[in-house]
Structure 1
Amino acid sequence: MSAVPRQEAGSGGLLAALGVFSVLPVPARARIPGPGVLGWLPVVGLVLGALACLPALLVWRGGGQGAPLLAAALVVTALALLTRGLHLDATADLADGLGSGRPAEQALAIMRRPEVGAFAVAALVCTLLIQVTALAAVLGDAGVPEGLLAVVLATVTGRTAVLHAASRPAAPGSSLGVLVAGSGSPVLRWAATAVLLAAAVGAKLAVGGSLPAALWWAAAVVVGLAAAAVLARHAARRLGGVNGDVFGALVETGTTVALVVLAAAVTWT
């Protein structure tokens, strides 16, 4: 998740966020990010999560019909394509940097290298494997509306985690300024979290789920954000702050953990 240099005429709206954080076509002028653009990440997660579900509908019809494992693999693949692999690349870089055990300056230098190390490979394999299998468990037990909402819930959770990390100082050498500006206010991040929690409970109830099942969906948000917060704290302590790679890894961490909790809900409710 590479940092973007400051430009004066940038926009902080949804189009700018889609232009920076996805492959979706937007006007060239809108691709220049301005202050506040990071605040639109949860909405970007909603859009991308919904679009990523479309290929799954070719092989999965919900209610036990179709191939949920293949559908889950298609969703995860679509998310990677829709984001240019941005967050997966960041996850790999952060894994190599933190896994090296080197001091902050050297760890950051490792993260900037184009080579992929053993820690990066392990992080990517584990992340993708867990995402696909956890989502397959959810889709195998869900109808189409519930499955689509579960994907969106996970993708929005991962991106809401970035809002919480945006309040941390930038790591040395990071040029996060234009992305973070106007996006790190407590009101914004806690309002986004409250809306997400309410939407999680409401969405599960709307598709016929029980109140205990709806609370599991809320737990998916809470645990996903908590896991990302732990990673953000550790990365900031080791690197002297956060950068684009940390943000990208938080997206994948929050999404993955939320999917695991949703899969656990299938087992225990």
Structure 2
Amino acid sequence: MPGRSATRPAGVPAESGRGDGFRLALTTFTTVPVRPGRIDRATAGTAMALAPLVGVLLGAVLGAVLLGLAALAPPLVAAGLTVGVAALVTRGLHLDGLADTVDALGSYRRGSAALEIMKKPDVGPFGVVALVVVLLLQTATLAELAGRSWPATLAAVVAGTAAGRLGVTLACRRGVPAARPDGMGALVAGTVGPVAPVVGTLAVALAATPAVPGRPWQGPLAVLAALVVATGLLRHLVRRLGGITGDVLGAMVEVVTTLVYLGFVLSG
């Protein structure tokens, strides 16, 4: 829980800690009904480091859904339904975080004043526009990707979904503070060491290689470009809010995923 030491409790083996971390990652990023097990900052760090792996698994499911629907319906319809499935299996939490974060940025307020806007249950005009633009872009890009060969389509969805979760790994690295003393941000902020983001970036970039047929270098380039933009956005959010929150992590997921899909389409 927030405020606990990141040191593993005595008597708890490393294997148990990794298992708890993976279960926490599943319950954080999907609706898979598993018991989260022990929850503390050490477990949270493992969960955030494993976020891209959960993205790979989720992306494989969404890629299969897109390909299956595209065989039965027009690509745009298949893409729209796939975006709906993605929101369903993540409880829409990342989209909610995106809307709240953009509302805070649009208010031009800083610190606690901006955080208060993020806590409000309603969605403001900036948040609504952000949701519409992101959902339209995801639907349009997935419709385009659905028209490619099935290995390229599957690779694109897997890499894009994993990259979105890699954005969370980057946001939780050491040195990035929490905006509040409690909540999701306080639990996960600064819990990821320097190795996990590097390994995750290399793995996701490699997974993106087949996403652009005939141009294997452009898939990894799209992933790296999206992560660079996300890093700049994260720095701006930390300056404005004082650190990260759960909403910021949700925004990172949606922004990076959308940018990677867009990069794959523009590279094709």
CA drift of 1:200 comes to 2.0
Question: C-alpha separation between the residues in 1 aligned to 2:166 and 2:65?
Answer: 25
- Match for residue 66 of structure 2? 56
What secondary structure sits across from 2:217 in the alignment? helix
Residue number among 184, 198, 204 corresponding to 1:196 in the alignment: 204
1:136-147 alignment to 2 at 5 Å? 136-140=143-147, 142-147=148-153
Q: CA RMSD in A?
A: 2.3
Kept in 1: contact 2:25–2:47 (CA 8 A): yes
Matched, 1:114 2:124: no
Question: C-alpha separation between the residues in 1 aligned to 2:111 and 2:92?
Answer: 25
CA drift of 1:174 comes to 4.3
Question: C-alpha separation between the residues in 2 aligned to 1:101 and 1:128?
Answer: 24
TM-score (norm 1): 0.85
Matched, 1:43 2:53: yes
Question: C-alpha separation between the residues in 1 aligned to 2:191 and 2:114?
Answer: 28
Question: C-alpha separation between the residues in 1 aligned to 2:24 and 2:180?
Answer: 25
Question: C-alpha separation between the residues in 1 aligned to 2:65 and 2:38?
Answer: 26
Structure 1 residues 77 and 31 mapped into 2: Cα distance closer, same or farther (>3 Å)?
farther
Kept in 2: contact 1:56–1:71 (CA 8 A): yes
- Match for residue 154 of structure 1? 160
Same amino acid, percent of matched pairs: 38
Residue number among 93, 96, 99 corresponding to 2:100 in the alignment: 93
CA drift of 1:115 comes to 1.2
CA drift of 1:173 comes to 3.9
Question: C-alpha separation between the residues in 2 aligned to 1:124 and 1:22?
Answer: 19
1:1-269 alignment to 2 at 5 Å? 12-26=20-34, 28-30=35-37, 32=39, 34-35=43-44, 36-61=46-71, 66-140=73-147, 142-167=148-173, 168-175=176-183, 176-180=185-189, 182-183=191-192, 185-201=193-209, 203-204=210-211, 209-210=213-214, 213-266=215-268
Question: C-alpha separation between the residues in 2 aligned to 1:87 and 1:73?
Answer: 17
Look up the equivalent residue of 1:20 and give its one-letter code.
T
Kept in 2: contact 1:16–1:30 (CA 8 A): yes
Please give the per-residue CA displacement for 1:213-249, whole angstroms capped at 9, x wherever unaligned.
1111011111111121121111111111111111110
Question: C-alpha separation between the residues in 2 aligned to 1:103 and 1:265?
Answer: 37
Question: C-alpha separation between the residues in 2 aligned to 1:216 and 1:244?
Answer: 31
Corresponding residue pairs, total? 251
Question: C-alpha separation between the residues in 1 aligned to 2:23 and 2:143?
Answer: 31
CA drift of 1:43 comes to 0.9
